[in-house]
Amino acid sequence: MRAKITGVGSHIPDVVRKNEEFMNHEFLNNDGSSFGSDNATIIKKFVAITGIDERRYIKPEQVTSDIATFAALKAIEDASCDPETIDYIIVAHNYGDIEEDSGSSDMVPSLATRVKSKLGIVNPACVAFDVLFGCPGWVLGLTQADSFIKSGLAKKVLVIGAEALSRVVDPHDRDSMIYSDGAGAVVVEASTDQSGILGQATATYTHEEAFFIFNETSYNKELKDKTKYIKMYGRRIYNFALSKVPEGMKAAMDQAGVDINDLKKIFIHQANEKMDEAIVDRFYKLYDMETPKDIMPMIIHNLGNSSVATVPTVMDLVIHGKLPQHKVEKGDVVMFASVGAGMNINAIVYRY
């Protein structure tokens, strides 16, 4: 018995924020001091490293559970699935529902409970719960779905990754330009054919790495507001990711027993273009290989980093032909990989 993805969907918010819209921001160092560079220079360097030209934000009246529901509805339709037959709903996120300008996260009840309610599912045997695992949360949710199905506890699982990071960014932090909003979802079902999850690897590093991503008040020390925003040590994360993620990807490949030459696509967390390219290059160097052309579809340029939503979103766009230069066919082997707060890494090898 294997866990097979039978439906995929995503929600890309309508509000577009281009880089030039940050020209009037007052970017500060973490001690509140000035950068010493004008915003045009800061943004130019930002684009060179991250590859991000624009990002998407949710509408003022929306919250994370709304866009999670939008993505779920598309996945359910794609799977031709009766929602009442879903055994588990797993929602990966990190900040809950945050209303515009509230600065307060609402996570009770869980987002999965809210999504189940918004989907109108009545069946009490459909169990809904959340996963808080940093950006790799959706990939972890997929491994949990695999475990439920292989153990016989479930026949059908809805796995969603959704985040509205626009509600938790400090406008005085240049890293605020990285983050965006979005949602992606899959329906996973029990299957006896050759499709499904072939191998996986997951790890959590906390000895020195636990607080590489954290929450802290604004870099503008003159503000009286005590709201905490998402913060990170970018260089430390970069070095960590290059060291640990390729190892995790190889561990998943080893468990799957698949020849590296059979890997057709890598759906990697869209965190930073240069970092993702370096991760994949190092992964292939573990096999003494050069990175194949077009192995890694990228959507970060126009969509930014929407955390748990990036992997299912890029997969959805490829599967449904919205990235014409990339395609996945029946029988192809693909990989999902992610890194994020915790510090957590994971990877899945999957036959489509």
Amino acid at site 234: G
Which residue in the list 94, 272, 305, 346 is annotated as catalytic? 305
* Angle of CA points 60, 117, 138, to nearest 5°: 75
The SS3 call for residue 151 is helix
Residue 254, both tokens: 């080893």
CA distance 224 to 104: 16
The single residue listed with the structure tokens 């307060």 is: 104
CB 136 within 8 A of CB 338: yes
Reply yes or no on whether 220 is catalytic: no
Kind of pairing between the strands at 333-340 and 263-268:
parallel
CA distance 134 to 211: 12
Which residue, 43, 42, 71, 44, is CA-closest to 58? 71
Reply yes or no on whether 346 is catalytic: no
Amino acid at site 215: N
Distances (CA, A) of 75 to 52, 145, 207, 307: 27, 15, 38, 19
CB 169 within 8 A of CB 229: yes
Strand order in the sheet with 196-204: 196-204, 344-351, 333-340, 263-268
Reply yes or no on whether 126 is catalytic: no
Which residue in the list 135, 172, 272, 346 is annotated as catalytic? 135
- What burial letters (b/e) apply to 131-157, b meaning 16+ CB within 10 Å? bbbbbbbbbbbbbbbbebbeeeebbbb
Which residue in the list 11, 172, 269, 326 is annotated as catalytic? 269
CA 80 to chain centroid, in Å, comes to 25
CA distance 184 to 243: 27
Catalytic residue ranges? 135, 269, 305
